[in-house]
Amino acid sequence: MQRQLDLHTGRPVWSAYRAPRVPVRRLIRDIKTEVVVIGMGISGAMIAEALSAASHDVVLIDRRGPGHGSTAANTALVQHEIDMPLSLLSRRIGREKAERGCRRSKLAVANLHARIADLGIRCNLVLRPSLYLDGDVLSPSDMRKEGAARAAAGLRSLYLPPAALKERFGIEGRSALLSHGNMALDPRKLTAGLLLRARANGARLYAPAEATAIETDVDRVRVATEGGPVVLAQHAVLATGYELMDVVPRAHHQIVSTYAIATRPQPRSIWPEKALIWEASDPYLYARTTPDGRVICGGEDEDFQSEDRRDSLIGAKSRRISDKLLKLFPQADFTPEFAWAGAFGTTSTGLPFIGRVPRNPRLFAVMGYGGNGITYSQIASELIATALAGGEDSDTDLFALPG
Ligand SMILES: Cc1cc2nc3c(=O)[nH]c(=O)nc-3n(C[C@H](O)[C@H](O)[C@H](O)COP(=O)(O)OP(=O)(O)OC[C@H]3O[C@@H](n4cnc5c(N)ncnc54)[C@H](O)[C@@H]3O)c2cc1C
């Protein structure tokens, strides 16, 4: 059992756009399946689509419904660069593992791009360059070193000293690393598109259906749900986002609070190349645009989880986010039309935990997503699909759950 969190508050910008409806059923009697996926956010959707496409029998359950968790608050910058710079991650976990983590993220974004195209999912996907601005975590000289660390791992980026950054992007007094191959999209549309594909592949979707207890024995998993019905499966995937079930280890994982705003459409005031922007700072700022010219911007994370405290700060945090952005682009209007706050799961390395629950090989968990939730959901779908096909992904050790 786990506590139900208030995963987001305020009005995420995605409420301005229509996502396809995903039909679900009521769970009124016990059912059997090969794999039960708990959670219909972006992670559960990616996993269910991959498993059902590989002819596994899949059931999905969700206590709220498709895409109503943290996915609805996601600002959906889909980046291969992870929250912790490669140069710092190497010191933390060793160069070989850090480079492998960054390369895998890069592959995941490319794979997701191809997957969305193959499946024909319309989710306003656009490819964007990304600008990583210097800040109090990486100084301009650290930025150069970060560029060199990336190059040594085979990851291309271009260091832009202040004059070059000003000339190409109009940003004054900062330096940055420019890289390519990142994406921006609408997370509700992507989640709905994947769930509809899973459904078309034969997956059965039930909501609202809350998993209240999980028991495993040698040959099956028994998931009890609120109200009585039981799901019997050979495997369970816990894709419950930041609401971890009791069977999942909590070490090295923290839930914090984060904030975001979106402006009115202003296509004429957008900065050059519509680059994704993020900072090597703590607290950090990040920004993207939508195809109709809104600016979405977020950050200002706080180390607490208290929902009342988090929500009471939405006004002040929104003003701070727009003021920071105005310093970068004084010509634009960053008055928020939408402002929201959400729970956000982080790990000490910026890498997620994905894999089998220790001592419980029939259970898989995906957790600790930080700012790369969508990229890591793609990786989770790859690892779990390989494991259920009887293989082992070569990066299994990198993401293994603690304990
Ligand atoms: C403001 C904000 C901005 C973000 N920006 C980005 C970004 O730019 N890029 C990025 O990649 N990531 C970003 N993230 C992170 C991203 O939102 C998450 O990592 C991602 O949505 C997690 O998806 P999920 O499917 O794991 O979780 P969720 O979307 O929360 O889905 C989990 C689902 O499980 C269900 N559930 C939970 N417990 C149970 C239970 N016991 N029984 C049944 N169902 C259950 C919930 O109802 C929920 O629907 C952001 C997050 C926030 C809050």
Atom 48 of ligand 1, residue of closest alpha carbon: 69
Q: How far is the CA of 74 from the centre of ligand 1 (A)?
A: 8
Domain extent, residue 177, equals 112-184+253-347
Q: Is the pLDDT of residue 291 over 70?
A: yes
The average confidence (pLDDT) of the chain is: 94
Q: Using one digit for the tens of pLDDT, what is the confidence trace for 44-57? A: 999 999 999 999 99
Q: Is the pLDDT of residue 1 over 80?
A: no
> Which residue among 124, 191, 214, 240 has the greatest number of ligand 1 atoms within 8 angstroms of its CB, and so is best to mutate?
240
Q: How far is the CA of 69 from the centre of ligand 1 (A)?
A: 5
Q: Is the pLDDT of residue 297 over 80?
A: yes
Q: What is the pLDDT of residue 10?
A: 86
Q: Is residue 91 part of a domain?
A: no
> Which residue among 4, 47, 70, 307 has the greatest number of ligand 1 atoms within 8 angstroms of its CB, and so is best to mutate?
70
pTM above 0.85, yes or no: yes
Domain match, 272 and 209 both:
no
Domain match, 262 and 175 both:
yes
Q: What is the pLDDT of residue 267?
A: 92
Q: What is the pLDDT of residue 7?
A: 67
Domain match, 205 and 143 both:
no
Q: Using one digit for the tens of pLDDT, what is the confidence trace for 334-357? A: 999 999 998 888 888 999 999 999
Q: What is the pLDDT of residue 240?
A: 95
Last residue of a domain, one of 347, 363, 385: 347
Q: Is the CB of 76 under 6 A from ligand 1?
A: yes
Domain match, 266 and 393 both:
no
Domain match, 273 and 174 both:
yes
The model's confidence at residue 3, banded by pLDDT at 50, 70 and 90, is low
Domain match, 171 and 260 both:
yes
Domain match, 286 and 370 both:
no
The residue-averaged pLDDT of 91-105 equals 97
The model's confidence at residue 332, banded by pLDDT at 50, 70 and 90, is confident
CA 169 to mean position of chain CA atoms: 27
Q: Is residue 178 part of a domain?
A: yes
Q: Which atom of ligand 1 approaches the CA of 209 most closely? A: 43
Q: Is the CB of 40 under 6 A from ligand 1?
A: yes
Q: Is residue 103 part of a domain?
A: no
Q: Is the CB of 372 under 6 A from ligand 1?
A: yes
Q: What is the pLDDT of residue 4?
A: 66
Q: What is the CATH number of the domain that holds 218?
A: 3.50.50.60
Domain match, 153 and 238 both:
no
More confident residue, 269 or 202: 202
Q: Is the pLDDT of residue 248 over 70?
A: yes
